[in-house]
Every structure is written in C-alpha cells, then in structure tokens.
Amino acid sequence: MRNTILSLWFAMAAFAQVKAPMDEASLRNGQTLYQFHCAFCHGKGDDGMAANLVTPNLVHAPTDSSLVNIIRVGIPGTDMPPALGMSDEEMLQVAGYVRSLGRSAPVSVEGNAANGKAIYMGKGGCAGCHMVGGVGGKMGPDLTLIGAMRSPSNLRTSIVEPNAAMVGGWTMVHVTLKSGTKVSGIRMNEDNFHISLRDSKGKIQTLAKADATKIDRDLTKSSMPAYGKVFSGAEMTDLIAYLFSLRGAM
Amino acid sequence: MKSVLLLTAAAGLMFGQDWMHFQGNPQGHRYSALKQINKTNVARMRPAWTFQLDKTDKFEASPIAHNGILYVSEPPSDVTALESRSGKVLWRYKRVLPDNVPYCCGRVNRGAAILGDLVFIGTLDAHLVALDASTGHVVWDVAVADYKKGYSSTVAPLIVKDKVVIGSAGGEFGVRGYLAAYEAKTGKEAWRLWTVPSTGEKGTETWLGDSYKYGSATTWVTGSYDPEINTIYWGTGNPGPDWKGDKRAGDNLYSNCLLAIDGDTGKMKWHFQFTPHDVHDLDSTQVPILVDEMWNGKMRKLVLFANRNAFYYVLDRTTGEYLLGKQYVRQTWAQPELSDKGRPTRMPNTAPTPGGTVVYPNSPGATNFQAPSYSPLTKLHYVMTRDEGGVFYSGDDTYKEGSWYLAGRFVSKPGEEASGAIKAMDPKTGKAKWEYPMSSPSWSGVLSTAGGLVFAATADGDMIALDDTTGKLLWKYPMGGKAFANPVSYIGADGKQHITIACGHALFAFVVD
C-alpha cells in the first residue's frame, strides 16, 4: 500500500512537471498544428462552435498536463475527439499555443451585465430552460460557467442562430407510441432497444423502441428558438455581457 | 483438479470442441459446430462469469480455448490463462514495454495463438513471444521489427503447419509492411514477405518516385489458411501517407490487396487489389473466408471478402480470378459498378482536400476489424457493417522515422448520426438475405453456430443472439460497456458450451443450464 502511495506520488510529481513550451518557434509550430487539428471546431479560438480557448482559465484544463491529456484522449461524452497524428512534443506545442491565446483574454465585454441579467430573467425567459448556480430549468445546458467556456461571438451565435451552435448531448427527440401518445424530450441515452429522454418537466422516461411507431431526432435543429428578433441591439449586448460574466467561483 | 483437466482434455480431443484459432478454424469461418445452445433454449442463456481487466485500454481480444483453459490476450501485450468454468486466473504474462512506443489506435491486442505446448503473442513493441502454455513462462522472444520506426504487432498470429505467422501494424507511421513466419519451436525466422517492393523490384513503378519507401500496406488483422493447397490469404492496409495521394501517384502495390502466399516459402502466388491508390484509409485488412462451393455449375475454391471500401467480393482462391463484386454499404467514392476485372472507377472530386471533401463511407469504412462469420449450414456470410459519412481533409506531412505520417485527417459528417447493421450476405449474389439494424455502428465481430444462432454485441454493449436464417432477435444481455471484440464458443471445463466475448474492460462467458 505504502509503495503504491509513494509510486503514485512520484507519478503525479512527474505528471505535474509537464510544461507547455512558450518560445517563439514552439508557438509558431503549435499554431500550425492548431490550424490543422483544432480550428475546424475552435476557429481562431473564440469564434468557433466549440469551447472558447481565448480565456485565461480553461474549465476542463486548469494545468498544462490536463490540457495535453485532453488533446490526447478528448473529452468522452462530448464532441471533443482525441487527436490523431500528433507526437507528445507536438501536443505540448499545441497546448502552449492554446495557452498563449488566453494571455490577453478579455474578462468582460461592452454592455451592462446587470441589465443583461434582468433580460435573462425577464423578457428573454432564459431561466425557463437554463440553470445558473442551481436555479432555473433543465431543457438546456447549465450556464453557470458559460462565460469561461464560450466566447462573446459564440454566445451571440447561440442566441441568434442556435442551429449553427449545436451542442452534443442536447438532441431533442419526438417519439410516437403505438397508443398514439407523443413524447418529446432531450435524449439522454439510446441503444438498439430503448430510448431514454427527459421531458420539459424534467421527468426521465425510458421507452421501448418496440412500442414506438415513429422516432424523430432533431440532429440539425436546436430545441432553442432563435432570439435574434426578440431583443434590440443594446439588449443583446447587455445579455451577452451578463452571460460572459458567468464564471462560477473562478 | 487433475482429473478434471484430464477429463476436459479428453472431451476437447474427442469432440473437437475447442476454439483453437483466431477465427475458430484456419479457413476463417468464426463458426462453432456446437449446438448445446440453440434456437429453442437460447432465451435461457445466462452469464456464467465475468473476468475484469486491471487496466482501461480497449479490450479487443478473441480468446483461444483449449482443454478447459482460455488464453486471453490483454491490452497492451499481456496474456492471461483462465480456468474456463470460473474465469479464475491460472497464470499471467505481463510484458514490460519500452517507454514511448509509437502506436496508432490504442494499445490493443486482438488475440493469442496456440500450437502444442506453446502460446504465442505479438506485442506493441513488435516482438513475437512464445509462452509455455502451462506456466506462462517465456520460451522465446524475438524482435520481429524495430518499434522505434513505428512498427507494432496488434494482430493475433496464425498457425501454419509448424510456423507462426505474424503481421505488422504501423501503417500510420510510413513503415514498410510485411508478413513474417517463425518456426514455432525455436523462434527462428522462416520467411518474410514485404508488402511493398523495394528499390529495383517489380511494383515500384506503381509508386511516384521513391514514395514506396514509406508505403505502409501493413497486415494488422489475421488472415486465413487453406491446408489443402498450402496457401495463406491475408489482406493489406492503406498506403502511406493515408489521406494525400499526389505524392504517391499510381496504384501503390501491394496496399489494399488480398495476397495469396505459399505457406512454406512466403512467396506471393497472386494478388488482387481492391482499392488502387487509396486516399480514404480503406485498409483491406478484413478476414478472408475460404469456402468450397458451386459457382456457375462448377465446384470451386472461393474466397469471400467483405471489404472496408463498401464492396463485397468473391474470388477464385486458386487463381485470384475475380468472380463477383457488389456494393453492399452506402458509398460515394467509386462508381457503383466495378469493371469486369473488379477494378473500381473513382468518382471525380472525392479525394481529400484542404477544405474538406464529403465521402461515404467515413474512414472507419463499411466494415473494419470486426471479424465476420460464415455458417456452412446457412451458407451465409455475416458481416458487421457501418454506415457513416466523413469529411476528409488533406494536409502536409514529411516522413520522419517513428512519427505519424498521415497528411490529413477526417471527421464524421456533421449533422448525421452513424448507424450500422449485421448483414447476412449471400455470396452467390453479393446481396444481403437479411439485415439486423444497429442504432449506432458496432465494433464487435460476429459468430455463427450449429445451434442456428448468430452472436454479436451492439455498439452499446448489448450481447445479442439472432436467428441465423431470419435475423430475428432471440436473446439479449446488457454488458454495460463498449464492445471492440469478437465472440467465440467452446466447451468449458464444466462440459457446457460457452459463448464468450470481451466488452468494456471485462470478459463475459455465457451458458445455458
């Protein structure tokens, strides 16, 4: 047991020493690799459909070693795949480049966050589907840390054109049962025989596919309506300022 | 204990109820002649035991069963002997791997092989090791290739007479592929067939310049063997680099081929190239199935091949003559009809580009390393298939020893979900007699049995039993993990037929009481 703890300690000590190189040549190489492997989803870092990388604190990767590990194995259960075709050294260079993106990251944007919060709670009705700090609905992603994970431009796209910012794990499904009953909800699991979904009341149901006559999956259509025409330009700016301020306890 | 072993040894010898090869027999059928478990009682099938790994790498092994003992290869390059009635460990071989072994798609191993008192395993650092079957002690250990160049062995070896045949992996590192045979008793190399020609050899003219030097064409899934004509049949993988073909213009022999090889000398008898100049990573490393059947009124020695490129092939295995080729899964890279010699005609604008090109199937292909099965009862060829589109990107890569050599990448086509099916292919027509649909494509292989059953695991780890003539679901059991392995069947030490498969990080054995 003691040996196990000791060897674990040594393993962790070795792990913690991983440090992304920040010299100019490494950053340049990291940028080239980033363009090829990462930009498809992450864009320039803050304008892609995936997580915002122009941020001083990456929620899933507080350390360089955890960042390299995510590049290596992906984030299971999300759209982030493991990298294929990079050496350890190259993954470190990509990590360095990603860190460099966050160096001058803004922590706030123009607009009035307090006004934005009022819009979120009131006119927008956002809390009907989204949760912040444990309060709100369950039909959409938890937004408690959204300001640390998404860029302002990505937040704007999500609000104006939700279909262009689809998030894995939030597919809306519509099941018609043999009895004629229709059930809709967010798909939580699907295998050959069953489909589990969470309806708008938060109730989880598992339905046998054998009992269904029709199953529709909204793979390219977000369950969130487009809000582009609901808000004025100033309201949108304030709402984004509020969302960008949501960084949990970080 | 001793008497049990003796009894089970006798049972194994008397009835031939072991599982002695990767595919059950050298002809590659993955068919069990056992019928204790059959259509009438499979509904009562239950788990007998579960054996858990102590690691989290993908578990792709297909066990060997002999005399009441299972020989299971564990990731990355270990072997464990299990008592077949209880799943309890008898011995373990744990290989210490060097640091920084380059490997592609997981630290995996697909199975061990057995001959007499020896168990053989290929390793991630490209060695072939012979273990004593009763102790797990190393009898010999030879380096087949240099792992630092990107070579590894993930394939289950194939026994050919007194030799152990081992394939190569490393097709994403620009290695030069080979198939090698070693004397089982001594570990002495008997022959080696390079799958890419070297300077001055015939075949280099199918590669632009000296691009053949990084030609890959590895042999990472076990082939088959016809003892009657002493011929090995083995598929080869993609040319390197995977996704950019202009630097290696030409057909790129012998990538994406089926090779017919003399079992004694390793000399190539013939080759058939399924996908000349592949740019979508469509390795032809599926298991060839050898059957003797009537073809146009004449008995012929055939080889059946359900290819990753979405075409189903039947060849004469004595001559390599092309007899049939039919599209069996959605594809957009080639014209739907092959030439009268079986050559595909590539569709325009389907090569990977810097901006991305949408092509069906995606890089994982129409089928892949999922082992197929052939039942002599139904004369059907059961294949686990995938249906998924991909976006293919080309990039730049310069060959560097031991480093990735891909020149591109792929992603799944956005906005679509992949699906799959077990297809019961009729070799006479190249069409499916039935299909069992899968809500997402599975990496499990397929087993058919004399009990009239087809076994496989779904992508979500449900073990299923289907009626072999209709595809009707007869039984299922949720194993609770992702399956990347192939089912086997044998008589255990308790005299019962077992159906066994790796799923998640565990091995599951099922019986009927």
pLDDT average, residue stretch B296-322 = 98
Nearest residue to B193 via CA among B283, B297, B90, B264: B264
Q: Which residues of A touch chain B, with CB atoms under 8 Å apart?
A: 36-37, 40, 81, 84-88, 190-193, 217, 219-220
CATH superfamily of this structure's domain A113-166+224-245: Cytochrome c-like domain (1.10.760.10)
Q: How far apart are CA B369 and CA B12, in angstroms?
A: 29
Nearest residue to B307 via CA among B237, B222, B219, B366: B366
Residue B425 near residue B435, CB atoms below 8 Å: no
Q: How far apart are CA A90 and CA A82, in angstroms?
A: 14
Quote ipTM for the complex: 0.82
Does residue B115 surpass a pLDDT of 90? yes
pLDDT average, residue stretch A5-26 = 64
B174 phi and psi angles, rounded to 5 deg: 65, 30
Cα nearest neighbour of A37 on chain B: B409
How confident is the model over B278-308, as pLDDT tens digits? 999 999 999 999 999 999 999 999 999 999 9
Number of H helices, E strands in chain B: 1, 36
Q: How far apart are CA A175 and CA A133, in angstroms?
A: 32
**CA quadruple B88, B91, B96, B100: dihedral, nearest 10:** -30
Q: Which of B404, B415, B476 sits opposite A85 (nearest CB)?
A: B404
Does residue B6 surpass a pLDDT of 50? no
pLDDT at residue A88, rounded to an integer:
87
Question: In angstroms, how far is the first alpha carbon of chain B from the final one?
Answer: 22
Beta-carbon contacts of B216 under 8 Å, excluding residues fewer than 6 positions away, are B170, B171, B172, B173, B174, B175, B176, B177, B196, B237, B238, B239, B240, B255, B405
H/E run at residue B30:
none
Q: How far apart are CA B192 and CA B155, in angstroms?
A: 16
Does residue B209 surpass a pLDDT of 80? yes
Contacts of B465 in chain A (CB under 8 A): none
Residue B475 near residue B457, CB atoms below 8 Å: no
Best to test chain B binding among A37, A87, A191, A207 (most B CBs inside 10 Å): A191
Which is higher by pLDDT, B37 or B4? B37
How confident is the model over B156-185, as pLDDT tens digits? 999 999 999 999 999 999 999 999 999 999
B462 touches chain A (CB under 8 A): yes
Number of H helices, E strands in chain A: 9, 7
Residue range A172-218 forms a domain whose CATH class is mainly beta
pLDDT average, residue stretch B105-134 = 97
Instruction: Tell if the CB–CB gap between B415 and A81 is shorter than 8 Å.
Output: no
The band of A43, judged by pLDDT with boundaries at 50, 70 and 90, is confident
Which of B:235-254 have CB within 8 Å of A?
Answer: none
pLDDT average, residue stretch B469-474 = 98
Does residue B2 surpass a pLDDT of 50? no
Does residue B1 surpass a pLDDT of 50? no
Q: How far apart are CA B410 and CA B447, in angstroms?
A: 31
pLDDT at residue A247, rounded to an integer:
86
Rounded to the nearest angstrom, the minimum Cα separation between A173 and chain B is: 13
pLDDT at residue B10, rounded to an integer:
43
Does residue A250 surpass a pLDDT of 50? no
pLDDT at residue B45, rounded to an integer:
98
Q: What are the residue ranges spanned by the domains of chain A? A: 2-102, 113-166+224-245, 172-218
Q: What's chain B's average pLDDT? A: 95
Per the structure, the complete domain to which residue B387 belongs is given by: 2-511
Instruction: Tell if the CB–CB gap between A84 and B411 is shorter than 8 Å.
Output: no
Q: How far apart are CA B123 and CA B127, in angstroms?
A: 5
Residue B126 near residue B426, CB atoms below 8 Å: no
How confident is the model over B351-388, as pLDDT tens digits? 999 999 999 999 999 999 999 999 999 999 999 999 99
Query: Into which CATH architecture does domain A2-102 fall?
Result: Orthogonal Bundle (1.10)
pLDDT at residue B15, rounded to an integer:
45
The band of A18, judged by pLDDT with boundaries at 50, 70 and 90, is confident
Q: How far apart are CA B181 and CA B140, in angstroms?
A: 14
Chain position carrying tokens 């040594």:
A10
Best to test chain B binding among A192, A215, A217, A219 (most B CBs inside 10 Å): A192
DSSP annotation of A224 reads S
The band of A108, judged by pLDDT with boundaries at 50, 70 and 90, is confident
CATH of the domain at B358: 2.140.10.10
Q: Which of A40, A193, A217 sits opposite B411 (nearest CB)?
A: A40
Query: What are the catalytic residues of B?
Result: 281
Contacts of B403 in chain A (CB under 8 A): 87
Q: Which of B404, B415, B439 sits opposite A190 (nearest CB)?
A: B439
How confident is the model over A168-210, as pLDDT tens digits? 889 999 999 999 999 999 999 999 999 999 998 889 999 999 9
Rounded to the nearest angstrom, the minimum Cα separation between A109 and chain B is: 31
Q: How far apart are CA B42 and CA B333, in angstroms?
A: 41
The 3-state DSSP class for residue B168 equals coil
Please list the residues that pair with B85 across neighbouring strands.
none
pLDDT at residue B290, rounded to an integer:
98
The band of A249, judged by pLDDT with boundaries at 50, 70 and 90, is low
pLDDT average, residue stretch B74-102 = 95
Angle, to 10 degrees, between the axis of helix A113-121 and the axis of helix A233-245? Answer: 100
Nearest residue to B231 via CA among B305, B161, B306, B334: B161
Rounded to the nearest angstrom, the minimum Cα separation between A148 and chain B is: 25
Residue B219 near residue B237, CB atoms below 8 Å: yes
pLDDT average, residue stretch B97-118 = 93
Q: Which of A168-172, A217-221, B265-269 has the highest mean predicted lDDT (pLDDT)?
A: B265-269
Task: Write out the two tokens for B176.
Answer: 């030069």
pLDDT at residue A17, rounded to an integer:
63
Chain position carrying tokens 């609770």:
B480
Q: Which of A87, A190, A192 sits opposite B404 (nearest CB)?
A: A87
Instruction: Tell if the CB–CB gap between B439 and A192 is shorter than 8 Å.
Output: yes
pLDDT at residue B16, rounded to an integer:
54
Does residue A3 surpass a pLDDT of 60? no
Rounded to the nearest angstrom, the minimum Cα separation between B418 and chain A is: 12
Does residue A248 surpass a pLDDT of 80? no
